[in-house]
Amino acid sequence: MIVLGVEGTAHTMGVGIVKDTSKVLSDVRKTYQPPEGAGIHPRDASQFLGENMNAVVEEALGKAGISFKEVDLISFSQGPGLGPCLRTAATGARVLALKHKKPILGVNHCVAHIAVGKIMSGFKNPLVLYVSGANTQILELKEGRYRIFGETLDVGIGNMLDKFGRETGLKHPAGPKIEALARQGRNYIELPYTVKGTDLSFSGVLTNAVSKFKVGIPLEDICYSLQETSFAMLCEVTERALAHLNADEVILTGGVGNNSRLCEMLNLMAVEHDAKFSVPKGFCSDNGAMIAMLASLEYENGVRMKIEDTVVKPNQRTDDVEIFW
């Protein structure tokens, strides 16, 4: 089965074409860049998605070397995400499905981040650390749903990094720039460390890191300290969940999963517990292939949607979704 997946929850218009659930035939992404000093504006981002969708679809088909005739299913990210962005991507997906007379399936964006991690690792029942812009969650599949064992109580770690970047003159998205600067950091500066059981909070570390910048502490040292502190928090809650659940596999997914220092720290933690560790390399950030992969799994397990079921769900939670696969 060949599935075309459209991702459009926030910053990225992504179209992925996937064959037999795991073979990526193509994966094309175009990412919105907010004006300097600003965050993602939902209306501007949705306009960007709309303007680029057609070209991204065409490029993905071209790279896969197929036409619409060979596509068996159109899928899209139904939620959670920014309302205007979700509506734009969903409208585009509906047009494709109706025009080419294909079935359509909307899937949960967060579960898609998990699905790509699970498929690419081959793990059976992993503990998942999902870290993106808006989301920071520790999850495991229990009785048909990804149950959330811990999550951020305020801002997601990616948004925390991006906000820090806005205050310190780093271009959006700041995560990769902070990673590069952190490598040049020499001195660890103490920052607030907030873990509450398996939940986390990042607003204190953000405010404090910005104030350190304002008093003239070198940006490299703050970036280094910000990563070490916030990633140690992530490792602590993941380790607590791992011990509690007796898990022996750990997956890291979501855009912040691109960070090699975070991978290194989590891998060290997992090894200490004789657990395996995996990251869906190249597919941590938002992309259409992960949407197509999850849609393949759901469709093959009997999930179907009518056009009237495709209304977007901006606040849909990961644990709202039943897992059939």
Instruction: Tell me the site size for ligand AMP, rule CB under 6 A.
Output: 18
Looking at residue 256, the DSSP 8-state letter turns out to be G
Cβ nearer to ligand AMP, comparing 135 with 194: 135
258 in contact with ligand AMP (CB under 6 A): yes
225 in contact with ligand AMP (CB under 6 A): no
Q: Where in 108-137 is the site for ligand AMP (CB under 6 A)?
A: 132-133
Residue/partner pairs of 55-59 with CB below 8 Å, 24 or more apart: 55/30, 56/13, 56/14, 56/15, 56/28, 56/29, 56/30, 57/4, 57/6, 57/15, 57/92, 57/96, 59/15, 59/26, 59/28
- β-sheet with 127-131: strand ranges across: 145-151, 136-142, 127-131, 249-253, 276-278
Residues that bind Mg ion (CB under 5 A): 132, 286
Which helix (H) or strand (E) segment holds residue 94: the answer is helix 83-99
Rounded to the nearest 5 degrees, what angle is found at the Cα of 135, between the Cα atoms of 20 and 30? 55
Which does residue 158 touch among Mg ion, ligand AMP, none (CB within 5 to 8 A, set by kind)? Answer: ligand AMP
Which does residue 181 touch among Mg ion, ligand AMP, none (CB within 5 to 8 A, set by kind)? Answer: none
Q: Which of 158, 185, 280, 288 binds ligand AMP (CB under 6 A)?
A: 158
List the x/- string, 236-255, binding to ligand AMP by CB under 6 A: ------------------xx
- Give the shortest CB-63-to-ligand AMP separation in angstroms: 20
Cα separation, 54 vs 3, in Å, equals: 17
229 in contact with ligand AMP (CB under 6 A): no
Which does residue 179 touch among Mg ion, ligand AMP, none (CB within 5 to 8 A, set by kind)? Answer: ligand AMP
End-to-end CA distance of the chain: 16
- By the 10 Å C-beta count (0-12 exposed, 13-18 middle, 19+ buried), 188 is classed as exposed
Residue 200, both tokens: 């986390």
Q: Which of 73, 97, 222, 256 binds ligand AMP (CB under 6 A)?
A: 256
Buried b (16+ CB within 10 A) or exposed e, 281-296: eebbbbbbbbbbbbbb
Which does residue 173 touch among ligand AMP, Mg ion, none (CB within 5 to 8 A, set by kind)? Answer: ligand AMP
The whole-angstrom distance between residue 275's C-alpha and the CA centroid of its chain comes to: 23
Omega before 34 within 30 of 0, i.e. cis? no
7 in contact with ligand AMP (CB under 6 A): no
Cβ nearer to Mg ion, comparing 16 with 185: 16
List the x/- string, 179-198, binding to ligand AMP by CB under 6 A: x-------------------
- Give the shortest CB-82-to-Mg ion separation in angstroms: 11
Residue 241, both tokens: 């969940």
Which does residue 256 touch among ligand AMP, Mg ion, none (CB within 5 to 8 A, set by kind)? Answer: ligand AMP
Residue numbers at the binding site for ligand AMP (CB under 6 A): 132-133, 158-159, 161-162, 173-176, 179, 254-256, 258-259, 285-286
